[in-house]
Chain A
């Protein structure tokens, strides 16, 4: 049969029934000789590239066993070391905290307040003009909606800080570890890695070691809702017709991209693209499901709105957008979630601006932990910044932030488990020296990219993936990994 003849099939709509599509149909029409069907490859497999390539192969790529990973970047150089009571490499208090906004130190200018089981934070002030805790981050994380209620999720969360110097006020620190997290295997069932800024990482940080795929930049909740639907001139298509369109696009693209892969010997990339098209077939059919958690209604919507303090109709505020992104990350719809908050270059010779920002950061962290608790899912949260800040030297814990001071930087790693608080062998990676700066005697202290590897190593350890660290020489050798990994798989 010539190509032209083959195409010259009867007008299908006039036939009253569809073209033969199943093996039974073809057998009945005599197109496949009966004797041949048993040994012939499935005709559906030949005709349908989706099946030929293997929708199963794409489905198998979903990796729901990894702990959801969220990064919160405080852009500008937050005074994170002014929130916890940083220690030296031996785990003891340093002699003075005057440059860290904490005055003379614990017992002298403030009382220690323990949280996350055994982590020392700067609690109520002794002297000075501070109201409440010196650490506004602590205040925010404990009580994200200012209701005089400490959230229960803290009882199942562990916290480790890491001392690391980084460059001030720049998006060029290699801190983002989402490339590694994705490489290890975390995948979203519906969405890729999400970010907030139009950068290679979705936050104002450069990738460490391995760049992630370009993130899907979420400007507001509607971006998520729109991400998985056909609209524009396709509004009037029935769901069945939309499904058929998604299938034919996946079919055409699949064969085209596989040809590229074969030519360039780069099947890993082309398989990703192929699978994206195949997954879209299901996504279009389901309309994206709960990708917009504020649209699904019921407990999910009401609880999420309560936790984040937003109206369920809010599609544009930072809290609503964060809530939707965090929901998608923790629920497994998306892979990594990168959140970015601006305004952390707050050394304006006041304490007020910094306190407000630190409180806000703490509240966001508290809301993330509460979201995980609501969903009964674990989460690993990485809080980072670019550089740090210094206070005017003072004996009291209320002195103003006056300048950048990247050598006094720290990062937070927080892990929530719905069953029990994750075990940690220590609450710190590295430490501070008597100059109130990250102590360079520890390998990661002056190397942000190595410190980022330490963060990733802790995440991998929590996931029981030590073999991935060894195979890919993360953090160099086993000795450094042993020093830097504080989280233990439960």
Chain B
């Protein structure tokens, strides 16, 4: 018998196809994730039995598989691709391929290991890179038509931003990715992050503003509520 190794790679074309069908998936993913798994939630006492070897109880929340994660990220950020693949699409595709070995192949939350979470973060950053570039491409005068970063002035460095510009973008991203409003504690955490991100950075470099936007988006897409259903 020869060694079998199933490669969980996804072709560039497949990524593009995923992106094209993203708007349809956006509906199905959100509806599916919101309804089905929670319908049969059991009382804790019914789920807590353990064998002598401590086999864990069933959770009512499941981890998305690698392909589901990619679809959900694309849907949440509206980064579907309708034309020929761009450099941003290439980055998503290559990151997915590179990291596919450590993305979850099943739906158990136990698969959320350190390396898996790091791989998810890298994939999220590639998707967010595209989302931020799209918003950056919208002129400052038309900021209101951006999807997420309406209050951020990408022509300025971090010194030109404030918690008032970060918070609404974070809240929009959270609503799309987590399918709920961010809590106060989560808002505080992201403001804390923005502060840390800014400390020591070149405050006048617009590139730092773009990187912070990518990072905030990445943090939202990489957190557990964005990876479970």
Contact = CB atoms under 8 A, between A and B. Distances in A.
A7 B159 contact: no
B24 interface: no
A209 interface: yes
Interface string B142-182: 00000000000000011111111001000000000000000
A416 B136 CA distance: 59
Contacts of B109: 257, 260, 269-270, 273
A358 interface: no
B3 A273 contact: no
B213 to A, nearest CB: 11
Interface in B121-147: 121-123, 125-126, 128-129
A357 to B, nearest CB: 12
A252 B1 contact: no
Contacts of B54: 183, 268
A233 B195 contact: no
Nearest to B159: A13
Contacts of B10: none
Interface string A9-37: 11111100011000000000000000000
Nearest to B110: A213
A162 interface: no
A279 B118 CA distance: 11
Interface in A209-263: 209-210, 213-214, 216-219, 223, 226-234, 236-238, 240-241, 244-249, 251-253, 255-257, 260, 263
A251 B5 CA distance: 35
A442 to B, nearest CB: 24
B25 interface: no
A214 B117 contact: no
A355 interface: no
Contact of B56 (A223, A238, A266, A280): A266
Nearest to A269: B56
Given A253-B223, A257-B224, A76 B112 contact: no
Interface string B201-221: 101000100010011001110
Given A204-B1, A260-B228, A228 B215 contact: no
B162 A11 contact: yes
Contact of A213 (B113, B188, B199): B113
Contacts of A95: none
Interface stretch (B12-20, B28-36, B69-77, B99-107): B99-107
B194 A249 contact: no
Among the interface residues B2, B44, B118, which one has the most CB atoms of the partner chain A within 10 A? B118
A269 B60 CA distance: 12
Contact of B61 (A190, A232, A264): A264
A277 interface: yes
A18 B193 CA distance: 12
Contacts of B123: 232
Given A197-B4, A247-B193, A343-B2, A264 B115 contact: no
Given A233-B214, A264-B61, A12 B162 contact: yes
Contact of B5 (A47, A198, A232): A198
Nearest to B222: A249
B185 interface: yes
B217 to A, nearest CB: 10
Q: What is the size category of the interface that chain A forms with chain B?
A: 35 or more
Contact of A75 (B2, B193, B220): B2
B121 A249 contact: yes
Contacts of B164: 7-8
B44 A234 contact: no
Interface in B20-69: 44-45, 47-48, 52-61
A251 B142 CA distance: 34
B118 A255 contact: no
B136 to A, nearest CB: 13
A249 B102 contact: no
Contact of B47 (A240, A253, A264): A264
Contacts of A8: 163-164
A14 B203 CA distance: 9
Contact of B114 (A191, A196, A341, A472): A191
Contacts of A10: 162
Contacts of A263: 44, 60
A152 to B, nearest CB: 31
A21 to B, nearest CB: 8
A283 interface: yes
A345 interface: yes
A241 B197 contact: yes
Given A227-B119, A273-B109, A284-B118, A248 B193 contact: yes
B132 to A, nearest CB: 8
Contact of A198 (B6, B58, B59, B218): B6
Nearest to B54: A183
Interface of A: 3, 6-14, 18-19, 47, 49, 75-77, 169, 171, 180, 183, 190-192, 196-198, 204, 209-210, 213-214, 216-219, 223, 226-234, 236-238, 240-241, 244-249, 251-253, 255-257, 260, 263-266, 268-270, 272-273, 276-277, 279-280, 283-284, 340-345, 386, 471-473
22 contacts: A7-B167, A12-B195, A14-B159, A18-B199, A47-B192, A191-B114, A192-B114, A198-B5, A204-B1, A216-B115, A217-B101, A228-B114, A228-B118, A233-B126, A234-B121, A241-B197, A245-B193, A248-B189, A255-B183, A260-B61, A264-B59, A273-B112
Closest 4 CB pairs of A and B: A342-B3, A233-B129, A265-B44, A248-B193
Given A191-B114, A265-B45, 10 more contacts: A13-B161, A47-B188, A216-B115, A230-B118, A245-B219, A256-B223, A256-B225, A257-B224, A265-B57, A276-B116
